[in-house]
Amino acid sequence: MLFRQLFDAESSTYTYLIADPATKAAVLVDPVLEQVERDLKLLKELGLTLHYCLETHVHADHVTGTDELRQATSCLGIVPDRAHVGCADRHIKDGETLHLGNITIKAIATPGHTDSHMAYLVNDDRVLTGDALFIRGCGRTDFQSGDAGTLYDSVQERLFSLPDETLVYPAHDYRGHSVSTIGEERRWNPRFAGRDRPSFIEFMNHLNLPDPKKIMEAVPANEMCGRLAATA
């Protein structure tokens, strides 16, 4: 399996390129609009054919590159089931699996950050956790139908139930981390370790974070697969 972790410094977003070396079939998870040229260049250099752009959720901090990548490559745009994205080619449901040659990508419903969030288990040895679980943190729950109790349940029941050695690759990092493991996060993540559900809810409900800078632009654009309102 070819696996690349790509970073957008402005939004602190990780995009993941996953491809099957035999078939050259590729998927980009959580692509960023400003990084489309970078991603297309890498696909060309590696001789890959982009089959899918796959989203963990409707993002509020950056605009997805899906629409431009779809125009450039004829790939399919895939979003989580129940995400309000009518222009998507497919909505993926909990438990469904994408296949890229010998690679399997299984959708795991992990709502809480948003009400239609998915994590993706890749070849049973690594999980793309989106904004549900960060390295020593987690996504906020105070907008886009987020719910702290639901996020706690998702992480505890759907992610922390994976084997300890499962690699954790989040959608964002703000402290210079790139990868962790489920066992490590269960033990050391301060949002969850030693907290029960009520104390987690109390903590999350009092974060008092400012809105993401691009929320007014990003959410409506991402509900249109990355088409900005001025050009939609």
pLDDT tens string 12-21: 999 999 999 9
pLDDT class of 216 with cuts at 50, 70, 90: very high
What gap in Å lies between CA 3 and CA 179, rounded to an integer?
13
User: Is residue 10's pLDDT more than 90?
Assistant: yes
What's the chain's length in residues? Answer: 232
36: Cβ–Cβ under 8 A, 6 or more apart, which residues? 65, 68, 69, 72
| pLDDT score of 33 | 98
Is 177 inside a domain boundary?
yes
**If you average pLDDT over every residue of the chain, what do you get?**
96
Q: What's 12's domain CATH number? A: 3.60.15.10
Is 198 inside a domain boundary?
yes
| pLDDT score of 29 | 98
Nearest of 62, 19, 23 to residue 42 by alpha carbon: 19
Is 216 inside a domain boundary?
no
12: Cβ–Cβ under 8 A, 6 or more apart, which residues? 172, 173, 174
Domain ranges, residue 195: 2-208
User: Is residue 46's pLDDT more than 50?
Assistant: yes
What gap in Å lies between CA 34 and CA 40, rounded to an integer?
12
Give the count of domains, the chain. Answer: 1
Is 118 inside a domain boundary?
yes
Is 222 inside a domain boundary?
no
pLDDT tens string 154-169: 999 999 999 999 999 9
- The residue type found at 153 is D
pLDDT class of 228 with cuts at 50, 70, 90: confident
| pLDDT score of 229 | 59
pLDDT tens string 60-88: 999 999 999 999 999 999 999 999 999 99
Lowest mean pLDDT among 49-53, 112-116, 212-216: 212-216
pLDDT tens string 90-123: 999 999 999 999 999 999 999 999 999 999 999 9
Is 218 inside a domain boundary?
no
Percent of the chain with pLDDT over 90: 96
